[in-house]
Amino acid sequence: MKVAVFSAKKYDREGFSQWADSSLQFTYIDSRLSSDSAKLAAGSHAVCVFVNDDLNAAVLQQLSEMGIEMVALRCAGFNNVDLDAAKALGIRVARVPAYSPEAVAEHTIGLMLCLNRKLHKAYNRVRDDNFALDGLLGFNLFGKTVGLIGTGRIGLATARILHGFGCRLLCHDIVQNPLIQELGGRYVPLAELYAQSNIISLHCPLTPDTKHLINHYSIGSMQDGVMLINTSRGALIDSKAVIAGLKQRKIGYLGLDVYEQEADLFFENLSEQVIDDEVFKRLLTFPNVLITGHQAFFTREALQEICQITSDNLLAFASNTATGNELAN
């Protein structure tokens, strides 16, 4: 089966190379999947895509007309796919529901620790032979209240680490996870979570109901100086509202691994270009903001799982069997 892999990077090529044989033949395409690049999938039976590839109804129609019968997501999120259109066109969609929750959870904690103890600033100071501690004051995580919005696999992995730090856990999810409660976590309404949490971390999927979950109103309900962390999906946060919250000192720390308009920025080297995104550039001006470029998933273990499960999904499609990872069929 021929598979067109969009948004392909060196690590994707290396990861999928062990699966390339007579059953799966991968063609690697550097560009993101869009209405302009969809034609590059001609001659393939399936496309393999990542978080910023666009699979709206028009793109899916193009793929269907070329004979594409499957979309293999090499990620857990699927907000970039019009599932209704895929189902209507008879295109099967499968994802990687869990590759390494611990990878994202550990990056989440890393953002918390780096922002709190200002490790990035300390590193640069020491390299300049500046060993003064002024401006580097942090706080103990022990005893702090952390609000987790979303308690699926990644939220649970994050909760386990925070439990080890001695944090009090407040959680919110439409489905309560009994393993969270075993850690001492308590499910509360969002209003209570916002009001009582010293740190708020987002681990929920992006849906119409959760888009801009963090907005002017919710930020206004939070404690002064709250730490806000997002390693889930960028559009959970209204970036302009967050900028206002930073300016008003309502948000004391902001850690982002995702950004609402990241599709035109992340995963590329833009160091020799002028970035036109004024909102993103404004975020970078704040000394209490730390942004990483959607790398929370990026560990050896996670990449191995992603490549293996994605390949298994493709092979299952080729043999007309189910994997349990299907979103539309």
Q: Which residues are catalytic?
A: 233, 262, 294
Distance CA 232, CA 197 (A): 19
| Contact yes or no for 202/231 (Cβ under 8 A) | yes
Q: Give the pair of three-digit tokens for residue 102.
A: 């611990």
Distance CA 294, CA 265 (A): 10
Distance CA 176, CA 191 (A): 17
Instruction: Name every residue whose Cβ is closer than 8 Å to that of residue 82 and which is 6 or more positions away in sequence.
Output: 55, 56, 57, 60
Place of tokens 């099967």: 92
Of 302, 303, 329, whose CA–CA distance to 94 is shortest? 329
Distance CA 39, CA 44 (A): 10
Of 258, 235, 236, 252, whose CA–CA distance to 286 is shortest? 252
Instruction: Name every residue whose Cβ is closer than 8 Å to that of residue 170 and which is 6 or more positions away in sequence.
Output: 145, 146, 147, 148, 185, 186, 188, 192, 193, 196, 197
Instruction: Name every residue whose Cβ is closer than 8 Å to that of residue 30 and which is 6 or more positions away in sequence.
Output: 7, 8
Beta strands 92-94; 326-328: pairing state: antiparallel
What HEC string does 217-240 produce?
A: HHHHCCCCCEEEEECCCHHHECHH
Taken in order 123, 129, 132, 134, the sign of the CA dihedral is: negative
